[in-house]
Structures are given as structure tokens and as C-alpha cells.
């Protein structure tokens, strides 16, 4: 299915090893706010990064194009751009196509060309496929077939800005102070390899889903192979990428509720399952038996976000830190409490979730259908 040689990681590393700082902030009222506080918070965790990667996912920034898929695409050189744009022109109505505005005075290393496109699938190309699946398939094609193009983000009314540098430099480079969103998910990276590789920076995204991640999945090999059965090509060979695809599979394609998806990624121990009430035990047993290959093993803390929803989660024995807090309408999830306190010294509530215990924040009044009729495929 997935040719193992189809990689988009030019350094050909086996897998990216990361330690990182994570920060997520959402205003549940939907109020849009600028980059100041998120950037301040991520700077506060400087020791968690080493200047080899920083990035931001911002939701609610493209309200003028909220029905179009906003594609942020990185090009290593002009040829893949031509190929990717041909592929886009063939399959999508491209409403707008432009280079991402940047501040070239920022301290960043060898920035690639990054373009943004607002697109919608051409009706006659869908052949009955759900549009989301069609977009995923085309993202996979761009990542694997164009030889040097990589889709940073492909959701609606959101975008990802990331690259090599400290997060504040990345924020300057992409002129983030000009954007306002209701949710910011930030990442500062401490990679142990792939220096200077912009594609390796976080966040990772597919459609609506964004993931930032601290850790290294000891289960990566099987997570990837399982996802390949469902058509996901893990071209970046990073742990974070498999998390993003796993959430897309469970949440969007299989319509499983978020806390169930969290139970799949970080399930309870068998001895805990044995203690459960019969109904709950049956459910948890079935989840582990069915989705064992999506258990994310080894140390991780993640922030996963999609339109209207933010999730904080650690591995089931909590080998990486995660703190959550609430202040009024604001929900915070971060690697360190200090980062949260630095932008909001006063907090209504602050806590450290247990291993495998999900923290879920939602926009007020935002309807998320937990179980819709599953899409037949």
C-alpha cells in the first residue's frame, strides 16, 4: 500500500525524536485574541526548546474564507510547486493563491517557500467521496508524489505557521501579530536530529486536526503500519504525524467521541479494566482488542485541537508533564503551570491530569455531534 520509500523527510531519518514545550489556549466564548499571550507563554518555557523548531496553529483566522479548505503548503524548490499546483488546479476550485506574508528580518534558518491556497473540491472530481476524504487523499498525494512539497495544514478557517527557529522568531517571521484567533496551539521544539528541517516542526495537521506533541512513541512502528491500512501515508516519519492521523481516523471517519478516542490512545490497564462495571468493562475490552495498534506507547503529552475543541492528554503512565487550567472563559493546557501563570497569574482552577486522563475544552454552544450515523465506506 504505502511505498516505504515515499518520504518527505529529506534527511531520511528513521524517526524524529523530540522533547518539547506545549501550550494551548482557547477562549470558550469564541472571542478572538492575538498572538501576544500565546507567544509570551511559549517563550517562558525556553528550556524546553533548542531553537530548532517552533510553530503555531491558530483557529478562527480565515473567517472570510471559512467554507474553503485553507492549504498552507511548503515547497523545497519551485518544481514541486508547479506539480502541486497542477494537482490542485485539476481537483479543486482555487479561490485564492498567495505567498504567506513574512517578515524576512526574523532570525530563522533557511526558510522555504510557503504558499497559502483557499480551495474547494471540484464536484465532478469527487465521484461520491466525502469531501474530507477527498482532501485527505490529495494531501497525501501532494506529500508523496510531488517530491518536495509538504502540506502544513489543510483545515477550514485555521492555519499552521511553523519552521526552524525559536517560537518567537517563527511568530515574527510569519507576522502572527496580524492574526486573531479564538484558539492558539503552540510548540517549542528540542529535536535530537533533523536540524534545519522545516517540515519536522510542529504542529502537525490533517484537515481540522492539529497535534503538538512532546515525547517519543515507542509504538510508532505499529501505529504507522495500522494507519497505512486506512490510507494514511506517514511521510514525515514523526510520532506527531501518527497522532494527527489517528485522531482523524477515530474522530472524523469513525465518529467516535473524543474521550473514547483518548481511551484508545492511552487505555486503562487490564487490571483496571477487570475492576470495572460489566458494561464499562465490555466497552473497554473491546476498545483495546480492536484498537490495540493505536495505543500510543512510551512517553507523550499532546495537545490536539480541532474547530471548537481542544484536547490535552498524556500517556497512560504519564511520562511527560501536562497541566490544565481554567480562568473565566479561558481554557489552558500546557507543559508547565508556569507558562499558564505567566499569562494569567490568577486562575479559577489549575490541575495536573492523571496519566491517560483527557482534558477536553469546548467552545460554548458549539455543537459537536458525538455519534452521527457513520459514513459508509
Partner 1 sequence: MKTYLEPEFIVERNDDRCIRCKVCVNQCTYETHYYDEEDDQVLSRDENCVNCHRCVVFCPTHAITIKPNPTRYTENWNWSDEAIFTLKKQAESGAIVITGMGCDKPYLTYWDRILIDASQVTNPSIDPLREPMEIQTFLGAKPDRLEMEYNNGDIVLQTELAPQLTCETPIMFTALSYGAISFNVHTALARAATEFGTYMNTGEGGLDEQLYKYGDHIIVQVASGRFGVHAKYLDAGAAVEIKIGQGAKPGIGGHLPGEKVTEDISRTRMIPVGTDALSPAPQHDIYSIEDLRQLIYALKEATDYTKPVSVKIAAVHNSAAIASGMVRAGADIIALDGVRGATGAAPKVIRDNVGIPIELALASVDKRLRDEGIRNHASVVAAGGIKSSADVVKAIALGADAVYIGTAALVALGCTVCQGCHTGKCPWGIATTDPWISRRVNPDIATQRLVNLLRGWSLEIKEMMGGMGINAIESLRGNRDRLRGVGLTDTELRILGIKMAGD
From the list 299, 312, 356, 361, which residue makes contact with partner 1 (rule: CB under 8 A)?
299
Q: Are 323 and 335 in contact (CB under 8 A)?
A: yes
Give the whole-angstrom CA distance, residue 56 versus residue 162: 6
Contact criterion met (CB below 8 Å) for 25 and 173: no
Smallest distance from the beta carbon of 283 to partner 1, in angstroms?
5
Question: Nearer Cβ to partner 1, position 116 or 224?
Answer: 224
Told to check if 47 binds partner 1 by CB under 8 A, we report no
Q: Which residues pair with 312 in a beta bridge?
A: 303, 359
Binding range to partner 1, per CB under 8 A, among 66-74, 89-97, 155-163, 262-270: 262-270
Stretch that binds partner 1, among 37-45, 146-154, 197-205, 228-236 (CB under 8 A): 228-236
Q: Is position 342 annotated as part of the catalytic site?
A: no
Residue ranges in 58-130 assigned as alpha helix (H): 78-91, 123-126
Q: At what angle do helices 220-228 and 239-247 cross, to 10 degrees?
A: 40
Q: Among 7, 109, 319, 326, which residue interacts with partner 1 (rule: CB under 8 A)?
A: 319
Nearest distance, CB of residue 279 and partner 1, angstroms: 8
Site string for partner 1, 229-248 (x = CB under 8 A): xx------------------
Indicate whether 305 belongs to the interface with partner 1 (CB under 8 A). no
Q: Which of 132, 176, 127 is nearest to 154 (CA)?
A: 132
Under 8 Å between Cβ of 51 and 166: yes
CB of 356 to partner 1, least distance (A): 12
Which of 140, 142, 162 is closest to 58 using CA atoms? 162
Give the Cα separation of 222 and 242 in Å (integer): 10
Binding segment toward partner 1, per CB under 8 A, in 105-113, 217-225, 341-349, 356-364: 217-225
40 binds partner 1 (CB under 8 A): no
Q: How far apart are CA 80 and CA 74, in angstroms?
A: 10
Minimum Å gap between C-beta 167 and partner 1 is: 21
Residue 142: Cβ-neighbour burial (10 angstroms; 0-12, 13-18, 19+): buried
**Cβ of residue 369: shortest distance to partner 1, in angstroms?**
9
Check if the beta carbon of residue 362 is closer than 8 Å to that of residue 350. Answer: no
Interior angle at CA 27, CA 132 and CA 310, nearest 5: 45
Q: How far is the CB of 165 from partner 1 (least distance, A)?
A: 22
* Closer of 102 and 222 to partner 1 (Cβ): 222
366 touches partner 1 (CB under 8 A): no
Q: Residues in the site for partner 1, rule: CB under 8 A?
A: 1, 14-15, 17-19, 192, 215-216, 218-222, 224-226, 228-230, 254, 256-257, 260, 267, 269-271, 282-283, 286-293, 295, 297-299, 316-317, 319, 370-371, 374
Annotated catalytic sites, by residue? 20
Amino acid at each position: 500500500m504505502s511505498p516505504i520509500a515515499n518520504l518527505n523527510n529529506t534527511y531520511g531519518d528513521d524517526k524524529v525524536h523530540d522533547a518539547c514545550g506545549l501550550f494551548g489556549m482557547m477562549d470558550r466564548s469564541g472571542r478572538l485574541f492575538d498572538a501576544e499571550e500565546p507567544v509570551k507563554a511559549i517563550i517562558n518555557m525556553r528550556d524546553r526548546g533548542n531553537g530548532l523548531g517552533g510553530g503555531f496553529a491558530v483557529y478562527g483566522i480565515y473567517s472570510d474564507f471559512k467554507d474553503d479548505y485553507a492549504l498552507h503548503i511548503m515547497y523545497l524548490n519551485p518544481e514541486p510547486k508547479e506539480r502541486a499546483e497542477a494537482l490542485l488546479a485539476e481537483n479543486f476550485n482555487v479561490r485564492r493563491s498567495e505567498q504567506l506574508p513574512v517578515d524576512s528580518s526574523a532570525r530563522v534558518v533557511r526558510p522555504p517557500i510557503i504558499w497559502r491556497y483557499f480551495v474547494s473540491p471540484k464536484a465532478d472530481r469527487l465521484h461520491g467521496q466525502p469531501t474530507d476524504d477527498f482532501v485527505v487523499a490529495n494531501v497525501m498525494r501532494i506529500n508523496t508524489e510531488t517530491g518536495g512539497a509538504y502540506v502544513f495544514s489543510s483545515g477550514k478557517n485555521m492555519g499552521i505557521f511553523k519552521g526552524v527557529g525559536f517560537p518567537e522568531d517563527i511568530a515574527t517571521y510569519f507576522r502572527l501579530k496580524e492574526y486573531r484567533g479564538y484558539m492558539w496551539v503552540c510548540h517549542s521544539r528540542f529535536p535530537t536530529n533533523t536540524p534545519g528541517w522545516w517540515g519536522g516542526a510542529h504542529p502537525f495537521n490533517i484537515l481540522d486536526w492539529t497535534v503538538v506533541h512532546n515525547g517519543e512513541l515507542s509504538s510508532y512502528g505499529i501505529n504507522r503500519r495500522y494507519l497505512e491500512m486506512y490510507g494514511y501515508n506517514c511521510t514525515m516519519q514523526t510520532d506527531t504525524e501518527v497522532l494527527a492521523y489517528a485522531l482523524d481516523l477515530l474522530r472524523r471517519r469513525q465518529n467516535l467521541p473524543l474521550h473514547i478516542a483518548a481511551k484508545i490512545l492511552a487505555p486503562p490497564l487490564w487490571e483496571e479494566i477487570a475492576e470495572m462495571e460489566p458494561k464499562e468493562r465490555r466497552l473497554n475490552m473491546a476498545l483495546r482488542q480492536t484498537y490495540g495498534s493505536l495505543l500510543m506507547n512510551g512517553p507523550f503529552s499532546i495537545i490536539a485541537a480541532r474547530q471548537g475543541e481542544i484536547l490535552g492528554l498524556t500517556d497512560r503512565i504519564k511520562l511527560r508533564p501536562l497541566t490544565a487550567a481554567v480562568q473565566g472563559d479561558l481554557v489552558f493546557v500546557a507543559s508547565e503551570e508556569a507558562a499558564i501563570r505567566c499569562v494569567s497569574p490568577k486562575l479559577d482552577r489549575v490541575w495536573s491530569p492523571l496519566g491517560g486522563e483527557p482534558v477536553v475544552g469546548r467552545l460554548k454552544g458549539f455543537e459537536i455531534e458525538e455519534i452521527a450515523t457513520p459514513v459508509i465506506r
